[in-house]
């Protein structure tokens, strides 16, 4: 066998009988893929791990609670032999050979007629790696390298794009480029045009290939349109031109990000839209600063509000009186220049002046800093410490239970 490499092939097992001998950890690892392939899986084993038992209880597999017996591989297309009984494994392997059933053996790969490749999935592609000899550590390492490259965009393979215009609204996370989702990073690597917010992960833009057109959303010429209308038009125009367009936004597209406005504009133009959620700064930035937005015995809820208009502004949609009565954590976004009036409103409606408060400026980035205050002192503290946007404001007792933390380089 060492003189000839294994022949790679993809098995289409949907609706076909597959026999798994042994209900231990090997079966626990392999069964999900067989189930996902639609195989008619029959497990033969007197016992099973709790996870395997749950698959049987859920009707995903058929469990025959007994040891292997001659004839178990009859009519099977594929078999996984993974019992702790050497004699049973040998006998089952011989039965598979006699009935021309491809058999994988977890105890003796050299005696098997099939090997299981190290597999991974990315964007509708299955990556399977086989070595010329069974070396699971090396094949797994190669698999991981390829899949990670496909997922994070460092390994880009040409692909046929659909002819229909489409746009991806990608949440870039709170600022640290490592905190964008795997899917978001992959779509960035495939983009022809990226329309980026000021608060998106800017470092990722430097990694894009030279042919990618990067448009600063804050600098799109307004013409006769308002800013958001200009952004909507840019998305539509580039998508209709056949470009792969990514709208890179800070945080999550639907958390004070006007993502729905853009999705609606695209829908009205007949353009499909993919939404890639992002890590919201409302929870990630406090966490990066060592502040939990909830904590057992301290806060059972947290509320996220926009502070871009003051409580006394007629445009405000926030019920500050109701918020003041809550006992949990209050997270304010876009509220640095209005925090004085916000604090006054909360105190006026019953929140204690000594309530602790933290302002986390440029959270998750190398320039992150945390400034602590109280509702009573925050207005003067912001001025004295020169706190500037972007900053997340956390109000509540959780500020006092956190552990100071700075982001890793």
Report the 10 Å Cβ neighbour count for 168.
Answer: 23
d(C-alpha 362, C-alpha 174), whole Å: 8
Candidates 353, 354, 351, 343; CA nearest to 393 is 343
Report the 10 Å Cβ neighbour count for 362.
Answer: 19
Whose structure tokens read 């015995």?
Answer: 297
d(C-alpha 101, C-alpha 112), whole Å: 11
Q: Encoding tokens for residue 286?
A: 């406090």
d(C-alpha 166, C-alpha 177), whole Å: 24
* Residue 219 appears among annotated catalytic residues: yes
d(C-alpha 275, C-alpha 253), whole Å: 8
Name the DSSP letter for residue 207: G
Give me the count of residues in the chain: 409
Report the 10 Å Cβ neighbour count for 335.
Answer: 23
* Residue 338 appears among annotated catalytic residues: no
CA distances from 210 to 86, 172, 206 (A): 58, 20, 9
Beta bridge partners of 28: none
Q: Name the active-site residue from 72, 176, 197, 372.
A: 197
d(C-alpha 178, C-alpha 185), whole Å: 9
Residues classed as catalytic: 197, 219
């Amino acid at each position: 066998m060492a003189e000839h490499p294994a022949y790679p092939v993809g098995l289409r097992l949907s609706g076909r009988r597959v026999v798994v001998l042994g209900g231990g950890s090997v079966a626990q690892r392999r069964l999900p893929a067989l189930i996902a392939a639609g195989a008619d899986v029959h497990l033969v084993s007197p016992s099973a791990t709790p996870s395997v038992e749950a698959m049987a209880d859920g009707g995903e597999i058929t469990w025959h609670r007994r040891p292997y017996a001659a004839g178990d591989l009859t009519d099977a297309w594929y078999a996984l032999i993974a019992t702790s009984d050497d004699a049973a494994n040998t006998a089952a392997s011989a039965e598979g050979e006699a009935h021309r059933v491809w058999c994988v053996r977890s105890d003796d790969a050299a005696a098997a007629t099939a090997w299981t490749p190290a597999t991974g999935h990315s964007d509708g592609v299955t990556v399977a790696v086989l070595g010329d000899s069974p070396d699971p550590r090396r094949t797994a390492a190669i698999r991981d390298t390829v899949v990670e490259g496909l997922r994070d965009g460092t390994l880009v393979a040409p692909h046929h794009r659909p002819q229909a215009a489409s746009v991806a609204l990608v949440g870039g996370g709170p600022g640290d480029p490592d905190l964008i989702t795997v899917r978001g990073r992959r779509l960035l690597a495939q983009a022809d045009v990226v329309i980026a917010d000021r608060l998106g992960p800017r470092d990722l833009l430097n990694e894009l290939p030279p042919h990618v057109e990067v448009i600063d959303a804050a600098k799109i010429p307004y013409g006769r349109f308002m800013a958001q209308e200009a952004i909507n038009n840019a998305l539509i125009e580039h998508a209709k031109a056949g470009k792969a367009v990514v709208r890179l936004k800070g945080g999550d597209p639907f958390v004070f990000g006007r993502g729905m406005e853009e999705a609606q504009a695209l829908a009205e133009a007949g353009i499909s839209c993919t939404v890639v959620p992002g890590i919201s700064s409302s929870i990630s930035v406090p966490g990066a600063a060592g502040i939990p937005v909830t904590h057992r015995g301290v806060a059972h809820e947290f509320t996220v509000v926009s502070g871009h208009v003051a409580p006394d502004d007629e445009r405000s949609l926030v019920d500050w009186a109701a918020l003041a009565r809550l006992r949990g954590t209050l997270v304010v976004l876009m509220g640095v220049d209005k925090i004085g009036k916000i604090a006054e409103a909360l105190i006026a409606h019953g929140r204690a002046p000594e309530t602790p408060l933290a302002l986390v400026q440029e959270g998750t980035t190398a320039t992150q800093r945390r400034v602590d205050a109280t509702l009573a002192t925050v207005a003067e503290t912001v001025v004295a410490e020169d706190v500037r946007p972007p900053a997340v404001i956390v109000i509540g007792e959780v500020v006092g239970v956190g552990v100071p933390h700075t982001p890793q380089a």
